[in-house]
Homo-oligomer: A and B are copies of this chain.
Amino acid sequence: MSNRTMSAEHRQFFSVWRVNARSQTLSKEPVPAAWQPLGGRALLARILVDDVATTCDPLGPHNKLIFAPGLLVGHTLSSCDRISIGAKSPLTGGAKESNAGGRTGMQIALLGMKALIIEGQPDEPGWWALHLSASGARFDRADELAGLGVYAAAPPLLEKYGEKVAIALIGPGGEMKLAGAGIQNLDKDKVPSRIAARGGLGAVMGSKGLKAIVFDGSGGEKPPLTDADGFKQARKAYTKALMGHPQTAIYKEYGTAAIARMAHAFGALPTRNFSQGQFEGLEAISAETLRQTLLDGSDKGCETSHACMAGCTIQSSNIYVSIDGDTKVSPLEYETIGLMGSNLAIDALDDIARLNYEVNDLGLDTIEIGAALGVAAEAGLMAFGDAKRALELVQEIRQGTPLGRVLGNGAAVTGPVLGVTRVPVVKGQALSAYDPRAIKGTGVTYATSPQGADHTCGLTIRAKVDHLSPEGQVALSRGAQYAMAGYDSLGACIFAGFGFGADPQVVPALLNSRYGWAVDEGFLRQLGKESVQLEREFNRRAGFTAADDRLPEWMTQEPLPPHNAVFDVPEAEMDSIFEE
C-alpha cells in the first residue's frame, strides 16, 4: 500500500481535539503518524486500540467518546459527509462505531478536527453543553435541558448557539445511560433526526455529563485539496456514476422501505419477535403504501424524498406526517418498519411513525427498542399488533420506570429479565430487519462483525445467490463487511457505494487528489479490512472470542416459516472469515 501520511498542508489544517469532561479543558494535538492515513470508522478503531483501556467500564471515566469524520468528509460530495462516532460500547462491551448524516461531519471538518476525543467524566452530577469553535472549547451549564426529548431540546440550543451550528445531542435515554441510547444529530433542516443509533453511544455521552455538543465551524475552511482540479474531475465522475445507477432512483423514489417487500419475498421479514419470516400485513407497511401516503399527505408536509445533508443527490430520506398531523418523523425507514412494524405485528404506518417519533425523541435506537418490544410481547407484556400498548411501553422508558429502563437497555437485557430465551441479539446487540435464517450471508455478518448484529456492517440481500443455502455465505459476508467498513471510513453513506461500485476509479481518484496519495482500486477493501481487524484486536483484548461470533442458539434450531430454514453456516467456516 502506498504511503498515506498527511502532507504538510493537511498536518497544518488537521489536529486531534482532546477534551476532558472532568477538568473541562481542551488540548489540540498534532495528528499521530499512525492516525493520519485513516478516517471515520477505521480511525475510531485505531484510536480505541491505541488510546482506550480495553477492559474499562464503558460508562466509567476511562472510556472515551470519539468523533471522527471520514476521509472524504468536508467537501459536500454527495452522501459523503457522515460523521463516525465511537467508544467502547455499553451494549456489546466491544469496539463501537456508529455513523450518521446531517450537519455534524461538515462542521467538524470546518473546525479542522481529525478527531474529537472526549475523556473523563465530571465528579458531580449535572448537565453540560460543550461548545466547540475556532475559539476552542467551552462548557455551558445545560441543566435546564435535562429530561427534554431531542425535539424540544434542539430549538433552545439553536437559539443560543446560532442556526448554522451542528449539534450532537442525547435524549432522556442517554441521560438515563440506557444501552439502547444513541446520539442524535441535526439534519440540514435543523431537525435532530440523524442518529448514531447503535451500541449505546448516547449512554457514553450521558456518562460524561454532556447533553449536547455544539460544533460551530463558522469562519472555518474546507479541508485542503492537494490537487483541486483532479478532485473536481473525480467529483464529476463520482456524481455521474452515482446518478447513473438504477438503485439510486429507486431509493430516491421509495427510500429504504423498498426493502420490505424484498425481505418478505425472501421469507426474511422479522415478524412477531423473529418467529416468522413473512407478515400478513405487508401491504399496509410496504414502500408503495408509504409512497402513496406521502404523496397524499404532501399538503401536510409529507415528502417522498429528502436529503439529510447538503449536497446529497440520493435523498433516500423522507418526511412522514401522520393523518392527524400530530406526528412528523423523518425519515421513516425500513429498519424501523421491520422492527417496530412486522416484528410487533403492527400494520399501520401511522402507528409505526408514532413509535418512531417517540423513540427518536428519547434518543434511542429504533432497532434495539423494536427488538426489545418484540421480546416484551413474547413475555406477554403486550399483544402482538397492539400499537397502543407498544406506545405505553415506550412511555415507560420516558418515565424511567424499572420496566422502561429494562426495555431501554435493549433486547439482551429485556430477555433474561422477562424470562424469554428467544432473544434476537449477537454480542448483546439486536438484529436488524433481516432474519438471518433466510438471508444467511447477513447472518454471517451479524455473527462475526466485531460491532455485533448490524446490517450496515455487511448486508448481502442484494447478492444473486441462494440466500437459504449455507454455501458461499462466508465469502459473501466477508466482501460485504470489508466494503461497508471501507465506506464507513470514508464518511460515505452506504448508498454512495452504488457509485463507487459503478466506477472503481472514483474512490482512488477522490482520495489521491485530496491527499496527494497514490492508492489504487484495492484500497477501499484494504481500508475496510484494516478497520475490522483493528476492531477485532480491541475486542480480543476486551475478552471476546469465537464463542461471541455466534447467532443465538435458538436460530440454529428453530425453523423459520415459510421456508422452515435454520441457520446452518458451519461455525468453523465463520471462525476463519477474516483470514483472507
Interface residues of A (CB under 8 A from B): 54-57, 59-60, 62, 90, 176-179, 207, 401-403, 405-406, 409, 413, 416-419, 421, 541-548, 550, 552-554
Contact across chains for A554 and B60 when beta carbons are under 8 A apart: yes
Please give the distance in Å from A404's CB to the nearest CB on chain B. Answer: 8
Partner of A419, one of B177, B403, B421, B554: B177
* CB-based closest 3 A-B pairs: A543-B547, A402-B403, A177-B419
Docked pose: A450 CA to B417 CA in angstroms: 24
A421 to B60, Cβ gap below 8 A? yes
- Selected from B62, B178, B416, B547, the residue in CB contact (under 8 A) with A413 is B416
Name the residue of chain B whose CB is nearest to the CB of A61: B557
Given the complex of chains A and B, what is the CA–CA distance between A176 and B541 in angstroms?
35
Q: Can you name the residue of chain B whose Cβ is closest to the Cβ of A63?
A: B553
Q: In the complex the two chains form, is B416's CB within 8 Å of A409's CB?
A: yes
A57 touches B553 (CB 8 A): yes
Q: A401's closest neighbor in chain B, by CB? A: B402
CA distance A542 to B543 in the complex (A): 12
Contacts of A543 in B (CB 8 A): 544-548
Specify the main secondary structure of chain A where it touches its partner: loop
> When the two chains form the complex, which single residue of B54, B55, B419 contacts A405, counting CB atoms closer than 8 Å?
B419
- Chain B residues lying within 8 Å of A178, measured Cβ to Cβ, are 419
Q: How far, in angstroms, from A401 to B55 measured CA to CA in the complex?
A: 33
Contact B177 A54 (CB under 8 A): no
A550 close to B55 (CB less than 8 A): yes
Most chain B C-beta atoms within 10 Å of own C-beta, residue among A179, A402, A406: A402
21 contacts between A and B (CB under 8 A): A55-B547, A55-B550, A55-B553, A57-B421, A57-B554, A176-B419, A177-B416, A177-B419, A178-B419, A179-B416, A402-B402, A402-B403, A402-B406, A402-B417, A403-B403, A405-B417, A405-B418, A409-B416, A413-B417, A417-B417, A543-B545
Q: Is the CB of B542 within 8 A of A547?
A: yes
